Structures are given as structure tokens and as C-alpha cells.
Structure 1
């Protein structure tokens, strides 16, 4: 399931205007001698290629959907803790070569290690809950419930990020959670304890997204990338060996498969935000639902029923409305 998004686009636009004004003047010799600032997720030096950014976002979501389908397949024969550990193990092994170059090794150093660890713990918790959910539920249903994460991010924004949330977006949050109830159907046999796992994953992902926003103003994307895999591996290793069942050669190959597609998805996600504004690419995260539906039907014979489709439509509609209000907030605050 997809990871966090950068901060809202309004401040980035203002920074670009300031940069444009500054670049009109002739640089002094002392300016040329100054070290260049570290590129962050919110860096105003982002290349403006929105179509490429959209394609990269869709590619990222496709890779993450493939990873989840492979993980669900593996959980039929392996504990889900082992599956998550394998995902992080091969993700980390693929990440290490990036940081062996002299130009990138310095990015391992950070002045905010505690925040990196906390952010990575949120993602590890979300991944554990998410993989646990899809091991017990159809892919499309679990994915639809996890889509409540953007609603929780907006709900947390006033106290966590200092971002005001008006009555329109608060109303959209309420409608979005109505969609969650439509999928869960309280009072029916459908509601089981397993349905709480994607909601726990959603809460973890929301906290992960908020912490990503807080770090994105000062940290390089590759720094976030490194600590995500390192902390995730450290957390899941003892959990995996507590329930260890030696994987077969085919299962090792599938674990490598999940790690590779998890790595590729996160890497493409970072690149998408380097080529286009968050406001441009963020809505395309919802293509994960049709991907999950297709993989669930093709590999496992699962077809979402009418209630799941209706609830997913309500959640996605609320999320898109909130995204639209956030992109217009500077011009027309709610």
C-alpha cells in the first residue's frame, strides 16, 4: 500500500517565486563559493514535467500492487511476519548500493534520527497490519479500507502540522468514514476482527504521512528512503525468526520479488514527486484499487461485492474532494 505524500503544494509555489526573483540578479563570487542546499521533497528546484510525474506515480502504484499480490500469495504458506521481513530484507539490500557512492554516502547522516526512526516505525507497523489484513481478506476490500488514511491525515493536520481544516473538509472526512462503515457493515457477519487490521494499517500510514511531511522540508528523499528500509528490517527481523519456517527456493524467489517491487514502487514514488507537484500526482494513488481488484480476481478469484464498491467510491470521492479543497486553499480558503 502506498506510502506518504509530501507537504501541501501552496508553500512550494511561494518558494519558487522567491527563487525566480533571486535568480534575476547577477551572482557574486561569494555566492558561487557557497555550498548548494540539500534537495528535499519540497525543493523548489523540482523539474516541471507533469506527464512524466503522473506516469511514474502510476508505475509506483502498480509496483506496490504487485508487491501486495505476491505477499498475499506467500502468506498461504509462510507467516505474514516472515513475508514482511523478506520484503524489507531485499528492499534494504537493493538500497545499500545507492549509498556506496561518495555523492550519496553523506545522505546517511541526519540531524533528526529520532524522527526518522518514528516515521519508519509507523510504516513498518502499517506494513505488518496491511500484509496481515490481505492474508485474511480479499485484496480490494483491504485496499479500500486503507484508503481512509488520507482522511486521517487531514483530521490530524490542525494539531500535527498546524494546517487549518475548514468545515467542508471536516464534512468530507465524516462522509469518508461513512464509506468505511458501508464496507464493514456493522451488525452483519461480514464484520470480523480481521477487518480491523486494514484500519490499523490506515492509522499507521496516516501517522507515517504526517511525519513524512514534517521531515520533507529538511531531509533529502534518499535519506528517508534509507532509514525506511533499515528500521523496517531491524523491527521485523526478530519477529520473523520468532515464527521461522525455512522458505523453499520458490518462496525465497517470491520474497525477493516482493522486496524488488517494494523498492521499485518507493523509488518511483520519490521520482514522481521530483517531476511534478504533489497536487498533480496525488489523485493517481487511487488507481491502486482497480489494480488490487484485477490481481485479486486473477490470482485468487476474489470479486468485490456491491457494498465494497459503494463504500470504496464514497471513500475515494471524499479523498478527492479533500485533495481538491487543499489545492485551492490559498485562493479560496474554506
Structure 2
């Protein structure tokens, strides 16, 4: 397996790592759902960060503390704030709505990123990208079907999670100009430990042995997911990796069916595909615009 990976081209390695990250993230979602069966979701979020930090300690020892120096403290804490909202909303929605539906809604993040970049960063978007955003929103409405189905709290949380993660991506876009990926990942976890511990106090109970296994699984697999994801985006252009993202939907649909007996509806697939196509187009236009300004640039910074 290692020899096969070494023989791959640079681009193929990036795609392989991206697929691995998707598999790891999907497994983490299963562990989250299983842990939440016996432990309050607020505690699950806290332990996800605490145990992820424990897993990262050996890595920090090898890289040294200089690799995680903060150069923009304000942005780090803003990232922690939106990271907490995204994680709390995202984890909770996974316990309330089908996995495939939550995954399909998560495809809307690039749409929110584009809108946020226009509002907060002053970026200019043209008619084609505006049309792609509108199409993506239509795809989300197809999944949610307001007026047909009850607009559940889980769907609201899934949208909030997508919005929060989009704000996070915009912050990371600025942080990568001044700080290392190791610092961005490590301080995210460190800042989230106390933030997520406070709301967990009123519902605190010690996990059972079985739940501890799921929690450790979340910490370990989540760290592997972030590592492979970050590495893949540092090795290739975002436009070559975005098409791979859609395999999340069939993977999560398969896991949801096999483990939780969930069968995603037809509209979830249709809406997810529409959102995905619109985000691919947005990513393509952004990459094209970036390349026209910086023709000699390499791969874009990773989205953490």
C-alpha cells in the first residue's frame, strides 16, 4: 500500500489523501452518533476536542512549539468562536436528521463562503457566480422542502453549522498568510476545550466504557481526517479536489442505511447534486480568477 502511494503522481496523491479524509470524517460521524446515544451531545463535543489534543501531543513534540506560534491572536479566537458554534450545531444536527440529509446541506458551505467574502472581504462577484449561488440555494430548498415537510430543528442546526464553518474558512484564509497549518489546527482545539467544557458542565456524567471507546475513536479518527484533508489541499488545486467531495453523500447514505436503517429520500439526492454542481462552478470561477491574477501560484492554502 505504501509503495503504491509513493508511485502515484503528485496530483493522484492529493486525491487519494482527500478520499481518505472523507472516509475518516464519515467514520467520525458514526462514532459521534453512537457516542450520543449514551452521552449528552455537549459532552461529546468537549471530549472530541480534549482527546484530539491528547492525540496531537506526540506530533507537537516532534515539530516543536515554535511551529504553533500565534501571530494573529484576534483571528485565532474568532476562529475558536465560530468553530464552537459550527461543532455544537453540526454534532447536534447529526443526532436529529438523517446523515445523508445533513451531508447534502453541508455542501452549501462554498455558497456561504462566496457570500461572506463579498460582505466581509469586499470581494466582487459577477453574474455567473451569483446565478450559481441562486441555483445552490434552490438545491438547499429542494432538500429542506419548506411548506411540504416540517422545518425541523435539526435542519436549522445543519444550516447554522454550514454558515459557521463558512465563516471559519474565511478566517483561515487570512490566518494562512501569517500562521502555519499546525498552529491553526492546534490552537483551534486548545481554544475549543474550555469553550465547549462550560456548556457541558450542567449535563455532565462520566461516559461508560463503551462510550469511551467511541470518544477515543472520534479523537483519533478526527485528527487523521484533519491531517489528510489539510495535506491534500496543500498538494493540489482546490478545483481538482472539489469533485471528490461528492462521494461523501453516497458514503454517508450507505453508513446511515447499514448502521441506523436510514433511507435518504429522492429529493435529498437531487438537492445535494444541484448544490454540489453549483459549488463546483463557484470553485472553478474562483480558481480561474485567482490564476489570472497570480499565474505562477501553486496549490491553494488548505481549508482547515
Q: Do they superpose with TM above 0.5?
A: yes
Structure with greater proportional helix content: 2
Query: Using a 3 Å threshold, how does the CA distance of structure 1 residues 292 and 160 change in structure 2: closer, same or farther?
Result: same
**TM-score (structure 2 length as normaliser):** 0.89
**TM-score (structure 1 length as normaliser):** 0.81
Greater Cα offset, 66-75 or 206-215 = 66-75
Contact 1:82 1:240 in 2 (8 A): yes
Partner in structure 2 of residue 70 of structure 1: 31
- 2:104 aligned residue (115, 119, 144): 144
The Cα shift of 1:251 comes to: 0.4
- Taking the aligned partners of 2:246 and 2:122, their CA distance within structure 1 comes to 26
Contact 1:99 1:105 in 2 (8 A): yes
Query: Using a 3 Å threshold, how does the CA distance of structure 1 residues 105 and 321 change in structure 2: closer, same or farther?
Result: same
Please give the residue correspondences for 1:213-232 in structure 2 after superposition, counting only pairs within 5 Å.
213-232=173-192
Partner in structure 1 of residue 242 of structure 2: 282
Partner in structure 1 of residue 272 of structure 2: 312
Partner in structure 1 of residue 20 of structure 2: 59
- Taking the aligned partners of 1:136 and 1:213, their CA distance within structure 2 comes to 31
| Structure 1 stretches lacking a partner, 5+ long | 1-47
SS in structure 2 of the partner of residue 187 of structure 1:
coil
Are positions 1:299 and 2:299 aligned together? no
- Taking the aligned partners of 2:130 and 2:22, their CA distance within structure 1 comes to 27
- After superposing on structure 2, the runs of 4+ consecutive aligned residues of structure 1 that deviate more than 6 Å are none
- C-alpha RMSD of matched pairs (Å): 1.7
Q: Is the radius of gyration larger for structure 1 or structure 2?
A: 1
Residue correspondences, number: 285
SS in structure 2 of the partner of residue 304 of structure 1:
coil
| Structure 2 stretches lacking a partner, 5+ long | 1-8, 294-304
Please give the residue correspondences for 1:181-192 in structure 2 after superposition, counting only pairs within 5 Å.
181-192=141-152
The Cα shift of 1:268 comes to: 0.8
SS in structure 1 of the partner of residue 206 of structure 2:
coil
